Amino acid sequence: MKWGVIATGGIAQTVTADMLKVEGVQVLAVSSRDVTRARAFAERFGIERAYGDYHELLADPDVEVVYVATPHGQHHEVTLAALDAGKHVLCEKAFALTVAQAEEMVEKARSKKNLFLMEAMWTRFNPLIRKVHEAVRNGEIGEVRSVRATFGFAHPFDANDRLWAKEAGGGALLDLGVYPVAFAHMLLGVPLEIRAWGGKAPSDVDSDAGLLLGYPGGVHALLSCSLVANLGSEAEILGTEGRIDIADPMFNATRAVINGVEHTIENEGYTHQIRAVEECVAAGLTESPSITWQHTLEVMRTLEEALYQLGVDYTAR
């Protein structure tokens, strides 16, 4: 398939490099608000076409699928435009700023009937995470009673930095906390109770957060994320008959211990996710069986409630 990449930041560079490792993938075009950056990006990765506006990329009839790598604050606008332009879409996480935005994006894709839309939660396609999930489903650690997951690092405050800027969708939860929340959702589903506590930055975004998610029968998830402390990124799944430990980085797992037995894989980055998109589109699917639209919306509802409890509100946008 012929891909277009929208934005040229760090995540776009990393994912594009991995796209080029996948047989059959052609990155045809890239766009940036600064056309000189788009041209430099294109030259670096051997991309044929560079545009100074994402609308120009979307108007390119040869682009079949777009990867939306903009800050969270633009996901809603760009994804809607891409779907209206008849493009399949892989949109970075967090999927949107609000549940309402995410629902509109999903409804737009549903109305198109033949277009694929997926949140880029690459962790779900990691072979080791799939192995862990299978072990849990097969009862290898008994009944899961507790899930613990963290992701955090210290990042100097700068109101103009996308991680701290509210207009860009900054803050710890949407950028980092989405990983632990999605991990808990994969294992336990939708929580009955959500409790969040954390700090706020001068730019009115969350600086860090701790979440307690409650499930039937006392099952719970303890999750934390931070932009002000080096938490690392690890996970534990504790069951009545065993445990699973996933080493840092949990979001791109290469080492896990299941009931005392170590399992390792080589780091293949985003390639698994890109292959999954290509396979889904080739099969005529509009959503991924691994990350359904319902999954994305359920995670967004947890994030929005947690943000509300932290005093961060994007719903007024």
CA distance linking residue 300 with residue 101, whole number of Å: 10
H or E, element range at 14:
helix 10-19
Contacts of 132-139 with C-beta under 8 Å, sequence gap 24+, read 132/237, 132/244, 132/246, 132/253, 132/256, 132/258, 133/186, 133/187, 135/244, 135/258, 136/187, 136/237, 136/239, 136/244, 139/241
Catalytic residue ranges: 93
Q: What is the pLDDT of residue 316?
A: 63
DSSP E strand boundaries for the chain: 2-6, 26-31, 49-51, 65-68, 88-91, 117-119, 144-152, 193-200, 206-214, 220-226, 235-239, 242-246, 255-258, 261-264
Helix (H) or strand (E) holding 252: none
Same domain, yes or no, for 104 and 210? no
Q: From 62, 102, 66, 103, select the one nearest 84 (Cα to Cα).
A: 66
Count of the separate structural domains present in the chain: 2
Residue 62's domain comprises: 2-122
Please state the φ and ψ torsions of residue 211, each to the nearest 5 degrees. -120, 135
The pLDDT of residue 267 is: 85
* Structural domain contains residue 284: yes
Chain position carrying tokens 């992701």: 151
Residues of the chain predicted below pLDDT 70: 316-317
Q: Is residue 116 part of a domain?
A: yes
Which of 87, 122, 157 marks a domain boundary? 122
Q: What is the CATH number of the domain that holds 101?
A: 3.40.50.720
Q: Which of 68, 187, 66 is nearest to 135 (CA)?
A: 187
pLDDT at 141: 98
Q: Is 132 in the same domain as 113?
A: no
Does residue 131 share a domain with residue 91?
no
- Do 92 and 137 have their domain in common? no
Considering the entire predicted model, what is its pTM? 0.96
Q: What is the pLDDT of residue 317?
A: 45
One domain, residues 302 and 183 = yes
CA-based radius of gyration for the chain: 19
Phi and psi dihedrals of 149, rounded to 5? Answer: -150, 145
CATH assignment at residue 194: 3.30.360.10
Q: 116 with 170, same domain? A: no
SS3 of residue 5 by DSSP: strand
CA distances from 47 to 3, 69, 98, 309 (A): 10, 16, 33, 44
- 56 with 189, same domain? no
